[in-house]
Chains A and B, each alone.
Chain A
Amino acid sequence: MTTRAINLRIGAFLVIVLSAVALLSLVWTPYDHTMLSVTEKFRPTSAAHWLGTDQLGRDVLSLLMAASVNSLAVAFIAVGVGGAIGTALGLTASACGGWVETAIMRLADLGFAFPALLFAIMLAAAFGPSLSNAILAIAFINVPIFARVARGAANQIWTRDYVLAGRAAGASQFSLTVEHVLPNISAALIVQATIEFAVAILAEAALSYLGLGAQPPMPSWGRMLNEAQTLMYLAPQLAIYPGLCIIAAVLGFGLLGDGLRDVSDPRLARGRA
């Protein structure tokens, strides 16, 4: 088996497990993750609490499961919104060409130069920290990325004879974009989205860790990490578990994205080797 296939399989496995756990948590968790208990604080792993309890006596496994939904949802919305806007911009740039293309791509460059964290802090300062502001910030960093990917891939499709044949048939730029270009760059976009998913999960964790994302009582891996930080000597496992979750999620989507890219375009795989 090639390394590519291994990447793809490990990635797919992690993503599937993670998604399954998130779905499961919507209908069932071992305990209510908001349930506090003064008597059950800092319990180690036991039959009752598989991963023990935290400083407030909440069941850690339930917290991690509930948090996984937030992580995935944030990533999904942020990448979806940012990706859609970015793709639309990239396709417009590619279809119009000329000064429109230049203008859009310079704007995208500007977006690249703007650190996401700074944007998130700005939003938090202006409108107060919240999960929706974190989503907005993550969506924002995705716009220029997808604009670039979409435009690059679309420019290639525009050179194909079947697009020229469409022009000969009398199709407008818009219908050529929707009917030929978009479907034929979808593979590239899906690959990019998967990779950006990993980045988004990491960004959500980072923002929540800094208190700019999910607010209590909403569970979040990043905030769990933050809260566990002060208790490192007392209960290191409280930091390790959410940390492992973040690693697994980021690694899973990252490997899946890499694997998908290698499968969809062998040339890129060789270029990276």
Chain B
Amino acid sequence: MSVLLDIRGVTRRYPRPRKRLFQEEAPLVAVDNVSVQIAQGRTLGIVGESGSGKSTLARMVMAFEAPDAGEVLFEGKNIHALTRRELQALRPEFQMIFQDPFGSLDPRRSVGWSVAQPLRAAGRTADPALIARTLEQVGLRAADVDRFPHQFSGGQRQRIAIARAIVTRPKLLVADEAVSALDVSVRAQILNLLMDLQEEMGLGILFISHDLAVVSSLCDDLLVLRNGVVVEQGSAAGILNAPGHEYTHTLLTAARLELQGEGAA
């Protein structure tokens, strides 16, 4: 299976404001020498708590910011070395879904407009039939194109955001806490949808979450991040069955439903 995304020794530092006049603060290392690959049609889960650097990593993969060291190769191309035009031409190939379905859609734009945005930006025609088909693919109705985000529930909005992300038929989908803001019953629907789409379209998925249970339900491989450093990485089954690090173990405990008291199974 071919490698879709190759993250090689990526490091990102942020300068910290100085607290004293004559002493410069050491920079914050948000991501420290992370290397990992995603193959076509596979899912890589990145687990970490706040400040672990998981979102910074996502932003670098999306080329929103550049690493200070290392490189991100998409199908062999270093995306941070591309010209603006080349990057724009490549964008339809890798798309993103965000955490907050209330914030990731412009409240003033119709569903159809938002879903067609990646097509327009790529200079393609926004074929209404394609938009309709994509909306149906994510479990919405074709008639929803003319409605506005505020007319939808959180789960439905996340479906709209997914429709926008897959309308260009990308090869890679980056999902940053894409189900964290959703209710449990709706979360299952969205996770299933992602799995279905992956099978249908052969998507590679980079799935980022703080919740190990959610990640484990759809990932092939796993990377556990803490303070920007890789704590553990490998196959999801291997790590979940036998966590090799105390930190992973804590995350597992927090994610498990442990019953206590009488009648506990």
Contact A184 B108 (CB under 8 A): yes
- CA A180 – CA B107 in complex, angstroms? 9
Contact B91 A170 (CB under 8 A): yes
**What is the size category of the interface that chain A forms with chain B?**
10 to 19
Query: Which B residues are CB-close (under 8 A) to A160?
Result: 103
Contact B121 A171 (CB under 8 A): yes
Chain A nearest CB: distance from B148 CB in Å?
13
CB 8 Å contact bits of A164-194 with B (1 = contact, 0 = none) = 1111111110010001100110000000000
B247 at interface (Cβ–Cβ under 8 A)? no
Query: Which A residues are CB-close (under 8 A) to B88?
Result: 170, 172
CB 8 Å contact bits of A140-184 with B (1 = contact, 0 = none) = 000000000000000000001110111111111001000110011
CB 8 Å contact bits of B115-134 with A (1 = contact, 0 = none) = 00110111000000000000
Contact A170 B104 (CB under 8 A): no
Contact A168 B95 (CB under 8 A): yes
Q: A166 touches which one: B103, B107, B117, B165 (CB < 8 A)?
A: B117
Contact B104 A161 (CB under 8 A): yes
Q: A184 touches which one: B106, B118, B161 (CB < 8 A)?
A: B106
Contact A169 B103 (CB under 8 A): no
Contact A170 B106 (CB under 8 A): no
- CA A36 – CA B65 in complex, angstroms? 72
- CA A162 – CA B95 in complex, angstroms? 13
CB 8 Å contact bits of B159-197 with A (1 = contact, 0 = none) = 001001100000000000000000000000000000000
Contact B98 A167 (CB under 8 A): no
- CA A160 – CA B105 in complex, angstroms? 9
Chain A nearest CB: distance from B102 CB in Å?
9
Known: A161-B103, A164-B98, A184-B106. Contact between A169 and B64, CB under 8 A? no
**Chain B, residue nearest A184 (CB):** B108
- CA A171 – CA B95 in complex, angstroms? 12
Contact A165 B161 (CB under 8 A): yes
Contact B106 A169 (CB under 8 A): no
Chain A nearest CB: distance from B15 CB in Å?
15
- CA A168 – CA B107 in complex, angstroms? 18
**Chain B, residue nearest A163 (CB):** B106
Contact A161 B108 (CB under 8 A): no
Known: A168-B95, A169-B95, A170-B88. Contact between A161 and B121, CB under 8 A? no
Contact A165 B122 (CB under 8 A): no
In B86-117, the 8 Å CB interface with A consists of: 88, 91-92, 95-96, 98-100, 103-109, 114, 117
Query: Which A residues are CB-close (under 8 A) to B91?
Result: 168-170
Interface core residue of A161, A169, A180 (most chain B CB under 10 Å): A169
B240 at interface (Cβ–Cβ under 8 A)? no
Contact B98 A169 (CB under 8 A): no
Contact A165 B96 (CB under 8 A): yes
B62 at interface (Cβ–Cβ under 8 A)? yes
Chain A nearest CB: distance from B55 CB in Å?
11
Chain A nearest CB: distance from B177 CB in Å?
11
Known: A183-B108, A184-B106. Contact between A161 and B98, CB under 8 A? yes
Query: Which A residues are CB-close (under 8 A) to B98?
Result: 161, 164-165
- CA A180 – CA B114 in complex, angstroms? 11
**Chain B, residue nearest A183 (CB):** B108
- CA A161 – CA B62 in complex, angstroms? 13
- CA A172 – CA B87 in complex, angstroms? 11
Chain B nearest CB: distance from A144 CB in Å?
27
- CA A170 – CA B92 in complex, angstroms? 7
Query: Which A residues are CB-close (under 8 A) to B106?
Result: 162, 166, 179-180, 183-184
- CA A172 – CA B85 in complex, angstroms? 10
**Chain B, residue nearest A171 (CB):** B121
B interface residues (Cβ-Cβ under 8 A, vs A): 62, 64, 88, 91-92, 95-96, 98-100, 103-109, 114, 117-118, 120-122, 161, 164-165
* Those 6 A-B pairs whose CB atoms lie nearest each other, nearest first: A170-B91, A169-B118, A170-B121, A161-B104, A161-B103, A171-B121
What are 6 A-B contacts defined by CB distance under 8 Å? A164-B98, A165-B105, A169-B121, A170-B92, A172-B121, A183-B108
Contacts A161-B103, A169-B91, A183-B106 given; 10 further ones with Cβ under 8 A? A161-B100, A165-B98, A165-B104, A165-B164, A166-B106, A168-B95, A169-B95, A170-B122, A171-B121, A180-B109
